[in-house]
Structure 1
Amino acid sequence: MTHFRPTTTGTPAADNHGTHDDQNSRTTKSSRTTEDPEPTQSQPAQSQPAQSQPAQSQPAQSPQSTGSPQPAQGPHPTESPHPTPLPLTPPPTLHAHLTPHLTGAARAWLDQALDEAAAHPGTHGPISVWELRLAEAGRRCGAEYADAARVLILHAARADTDALTRVYFQGTGAERRAVLHALPHLVPGPDALPLVEDALRANDTGLVAAAVGPYAARHLDPHQWRHAVLKCLFTGVSVSAVADLERRAHADAELARMLGDYAAERTAAGRPVPEDLYRVLALTESGPTPPPHGDVHPHGKES
């Protein structure tokens, strides 16, 4: 079920979102600049053989023989979608799926970070050791797997609402996103809703997509939830990110009215209506009530 790819939604710049980033507390976060890969260093070697051996420059196989990367291979992995449902995957399963994708050094670092978090859970002083590990995750595990690593660390630390709130408001965009992904695993009640509400006020599409996960599906009231769906339409976040969409949108006449008004405004302004709007609008029709998603429990943690 779980296939690890880069983080979800939004552009890679989302990891640096927020006015609270790094200035408040964590000097270690300056190391995030080392996350950027340097795959182009071997490319000059590709052009040198072509100059000394003109006869070999014509075949397309010559770059492969030198092992040089080819520019046509596509964008950096962080620009790809991340289908892994971090809020719905139990941490032991997440850990089992993550570790084969890490290097030996990254696995050793993650195991140590999880051990430290388990040995010293909660908050200790101005900043806990596991909070520092959250700041290192991107550099240690790579941007592709940092979200999953951070969720595991938060779970191992048994972070409560106060700890999650501190990490969220003092952290980078990437750390805030991890907190939102971890909420279903750590907070059984609605106490962490202020974090969801804050993320839904942001323009960071990564935060918006993380905010409309199973925790929001379970705890947002109908008014807040409808506006969360509209926020996705406003910002271009796919409504596939909205947990339990089919059940919550079912026979919702008020949501249908809001969607109709939004479509009329777009049309009057000569702007296209998002395809996702029609998808949600179809779900608001009356009919048999869809069953709740198997991984979303209205009154308890997902794991």
Structure 2
Amino acid sequence: MEPDELRAALSAVPEPDWLDQAVRRVADEPDAVGRLFAAAGRRCGRAPLPAAPDWTADDAARVLLLTMLPADRVVGQVETLYRYGDAAEKRAVLRALPWLPIGAAAVPLLHDAIRTNDTRLVAAALGPYAGHLDAATWRQAVLKCVFMEVPLAVVDRLDERADGELEIMLAGLDEERRAAGRSIPADATALLDRLRLTTKEA
């Protein structure tokens, strides 16, 4: 969702006035973002948004707060909030990255998220900002989604970026699972089938 859509979806949070004031305050006082970011779960709630069930109210509120930071303060604040945040706060930082003026400066945060075993962070790391990941790292992240059974629907531009190397990796995993009497998830099988078809047509 775009920031304007998130703002509209947050109109029914428990304390909309608090959110409005918090957004304005971050624009005027960037150093206040830490306290407000941490308070968002308590003040806005953690319920899924009706307009976007894969987003929670605290996710959306935190993303809005980050989009209000002055450009020269974004990188430092984002790194700090991610480093010291809990899992929900880290996920909100990752989800905000596509809308922040930071270029590729936050790629190390993606690397950290992908190394975790938290499915929420791995999924958030493969959103639109993952376009900054190099091909090898991106492939490994997709394979980790398969291992962790994270739905591949979370991977931005999956069909566009999937290539022959990913096909080889998925095929190897598929063979390993079959030898053990198991299988890879259905969405991974479907991706492998599409890649194989592309290879045959090439």
The Cα shift of 1:97 comes to: 2.3
Q: Is this contact kept in 1: 2:66–2:74, CA < 8 A?
A: no
Structure 2 match to 1:245: 158
Distance in structure 1 (CA, Å) of the matches to 2:109 and 2:188: 26
TM-score normalised over the length of structure 2:
0.88
In 2, Cα distance between the equivalents of 1:214 and 1:192?
13
What is residue 38 of structure 2 aligned with on the other side? 135
State the alpha-carbon separation in 1 of the partners of residues 190 and 96 from structure 2: 28
Paired residue for 1:262?
173
SS at match of 2:105: helix
What whole-Å deviation, never above 9, does each CA across 1:142-192 have from its counterpart, x for those lacking one? 112100000001111245222111110111111100000000000442111
Alignment partner of 1:186 is 2:100? yes
2:27 to 118, 128, 133: 118
Deviation of the 1:260 alpha carbon: 0.4
- Give unpaired runs (5+ residues) of structure 2: 48-56
With over 3 angstroms needed to count, the CA separation of the structure-2 counterparts of 1:188 and 1:281, relative to structure 1, is farther
**For residue 190 of structure 2, what is the amino acid of its counterpart?**
R
Letter in 2 for 1:238: P
Percent of aligned pairs sharing the same letter? 46
* Cα pair distance change 1:283/1:131, threshold 3 Å: farther
Q: How far off is 1:115 after superposition?
A: 1.0
Deviation of residue 282 (structure 1)? 2.9
Aligned match of 1:94: 6
Alignment of 1:1-303 (within 5 A): 89-99=1-11, 101-103=12-14, 106-121=15-30, 128-144=31-47, 145-158=57-70, 159-216=73-130, 218-249=131-162, 252-284=163-195, 285-286=197-198
**Structure 1 residue aligned with 2:52:** none
Deviation of the 1:286 alpha carbon: 2.3
- Equivalent position amino acid for 1:108 in 2: D
CA distance in 1, matches of 2:135, 2:126: 13
In structure 2, what is the Cα distance between the partners aligned to 1:258 and 1:116? 48
Q: CA deviation at 1:269?
A: 1.7
For the residue of structure 2 that corresponds to 1:157, the secondary structure is coil
Amino acid at match of 2:124: A
Mapped partners of 1:139, 1:256: distance in 2: 44
Query: Secondary structure at 1:176's aligned position in 2?
Result: helix
Whole-angstrom distance in 1 between the partners of 2:137 and 2:194: 18
In structure 1, the gaps of 5 or more residues are: 1-88, 122-127, 288-303
Greater helix content: 2
Q: Which has the higher contact order (CA 8 A, sep 6+)?
A: 1
Specify the structure having the higher radius of gyration (Cα): 1
TM superposition outliers: structure 1 runs of 4+ over 6 Å: none
Query: Do 2:26 and 2:69's aligned partners in 1 also have CA atoms closer than 8 Å?
Result: yes
Q: Give distance in 2, aligned partners of 1:282 and 1:202.
A: 28
Please give the alpha-carbon distance, in whole angstroms, between the structure 2 residues aligned to 1:210 and 1:223.
18
Q: CA deviation at 1:280?
A: 1.7
